Structure 1
Amino acid sequence: MKKLLFLLAIVLIANVLKAQTDAKAKQILDQTSQKTRSLKTISAEFTFSMQNAQLKETNNGSIKLKGNKYVVEIPGVGLKVFADGKTSWNYMKTGNQVTIATIDETSSDLMDPSSVFTIYEKGFKSKFIAEKTVEGKPVYQIELYPDKSEFEVSKITIEINKSTSMIQSALLDGTDGNTYTIKVNKFESNKEIPDAEFVFDAKKFPGVEVIDLR
């Protein structure tokens, strides 16, 4: 879940791009960051996969973003995560259980879901790789490398749609030997999203077991 949120932050917020060194990559990433920062809300559907030498798991999901609020749902594994900027609720359909925690905005863990909206403070070097066509769409391919060895990432490869300046996919090579990929299948912006959608409502989950870690 941590790596999923991290990749979503890269793809939809483009806020992990502070220590660019490649001039062309920096120009492209700056355009993407400016575009995403101008959006009031984001709604997206995505495919997320994790692969290693033994297995490959793929799931579809959705996310809604509004400022520092978000809700992520992956029906295939019965997972739904709510966050209103101060509190997060991690709900698992299996077991009908929700875990409540306070979001630590000062967390230094790159993979911590609570730092999903502050990862722009982390350092990555960037390198422009190529212009190519993917599924009939022209894209820029850029690689990101972490400045700090303690990050759980060795490399991130992103593809940015040349005409929209939006990131359409990201591939993360984890130091755990796994490869994580996220692809945006549908994207909408600036739709009205009530703040209540980012808060867990126990009334909608009868009999839910609550684990409060606050």
Structure 2
Amino acid sequence: MIKKTVFTGLILCGLMGGAVAQTGKNDPKAKAVLDNVSKKFKSLKSVIANFVLKVEGANNSISDSRKGSVYVKGTKYKVVMGDQEIISDNKTSWTYAKDVNEVTINNVDQSSQGMTPAKIFTNFYDKDFLYKLNGETTEKGKVLQNIELTPTDKSKPFFKVLIDVDKKTSTLARMKVFEKNGNRYTYEINSFQPNGAVTDEMFTFDAKKHPGVEVVDLR
């Protein structure tokens, strides 16, 4: 089974942070595509997306998948995947494990360059990656623009990220992370609902709604 820390580690903090300067030129065609994705997301009041996380181990040692949903409003977000929820109002973050009825609370580090669901749909590529357009493919009637990103910080546990952008809607369709140890993680966006119905209450954790919850407050 997929470890609960996989999503948190890769999506919330694994892809960004502490870049080391590296010479290299970015592809202006790739930047234009990525800029359009960022512009589209910033024009929306909210986003609801359903995804599938697929894990492939080195030498086919692991193969697993899990469905999830992400709700984003500005810098606030909520991720639901299996028995885990990750919630942030951009000041406080809550990680709730339903199977053990435990929630861990942290302050959000405003100076951190960590990846968040909001950044995935916007300008996460600006400072810490070199990127190029590898062409276009067609899947299920959709034209996807294929972009390859390589981290400027070579100490990262991954060496490459491939993303596919829906050319018609300028939305992220897929992200695949290649780790140095041979593991590969694919996040496939199955549905993308712009301006979906979300409320501010969704982006906080109410312990009263979870009787007996164990609270681990690390603030």
Task: Tell me the TM-score normalised to structure 2 length.
Answer: 0.83
Once structures 1 and 2 are overlaid, which stretch shifts more, 114-123 or 141-150? 114-123
Match of residue 59, structure 1, among 60, 66, 70: 66
Letter in 1 for 2:173: Q
Kindly report the root-mean-square deviation, in angstroms, between the aligned alpha carbons of the 2 structures.
2.7
| Contact kept in structure 2, 1:100 and 1:213, CA below 8 Å | yes
Cα shift at 1:148? 1.4
Q: What's 1:12 paired with?
A: none
Check if 1:87 corresponds to 2:92: yes
Q: Distance in 2 between matches of 1:7 and 1:42?
A: 22
Q: What's 2:202 paired with?
A: 197
Letter in 2 for 1:58: S
Q: What's 2:75 paired with?
A: 68
- State the secondary structure of the residue aligned to 2:54: strand
Q: Distance in 2 between matches of 1:144 and 1:118?
A: 13
Once structures 1 and 2 are overlaid, which stretch shifts more, 134-143 or 20-29? 20-29
Cα shift at 1:159? 0.7
Check if 1:165 corresponds to 2:189: no
CA deviations 1:3-38 (Å, max 9, x no partner) are 1346999xxxxxxxxx97112111211112111121
Listed as ranges, the gaps of 5+ residues in structure 2 are 1-7, 17-23
- State the secondary structure of the residue aligned to 1:64: strand
Q: What's 2:4 paired with?
A: none
Q: Percent identity?
A: 38
Match of residue 31, structure 1, among 8, 15, 36: 36
| Contact kept in structure 2, 1:20 and 1:124, CA below 8 Å | no
Q: Which residues of 2 match residues 121-200 of structure 1 at below 5 A? A: 122-200=127-205
Task: Tell me the TM-score normalised to structure 1 length.
Answer: 0.85
- State the secondary structure of the residue aligned to 2:201: helix
Q: Distance in 2 between matches of 1:115 and 1:138?
A: 23
Letter in 2 for 1:132: T
Q: Distance in 2 between matches of 1:200 and 1:174?
A: 33
Q: What's 1:210 paired with?
A: 215
- State the secondary structure of the residue aligned to 1:196: helix
Q: What's 2:3 paired with?
A: none
Q: Distance in 2 between matches of 1:180 and 1:113?
A: 16
Aligned residues: 202
Listed as ranges, the gaps of 5+ residues in structure 1 are 10-18
- State the secondary structure of the residue aligned to 2:168: coil
| Contact kept in structure 1, 2:47 and 2:196, CA below 8 Å | yes
- Would the alpha carbon gap of residues 68 and 52 (structure 1) be closer, same or farther in structure 2, given more than 3 Å must change? same
CA deviations 1:57-116 (Å, max 9, x no partner) are 2000001001111010012xx1011111011110001211110011112125x4688987
| Contact kept in structure 1, 2:115 and 2:124, CA below 8 Å | no
| Contact kept in structure 2, 1:96 and 1:207, CA below 8 Å | yes
Q: What's 1:2 paired with?
A: 9
- Would the alpha carbon gap of residues 7 and 186 (structure 1) be closer, same or farther in structure 2, given more than 3 Å must change? farther
- State the secondary structure of the residue aligned to 1:149: coil
- State the secondary structure of the residue aligned to 1:88: strand
- Would the alpha carbon gap of residues 100 and 124 (structure 1) be closer, same or farther in structure 2, given more than 3 Å must change? same
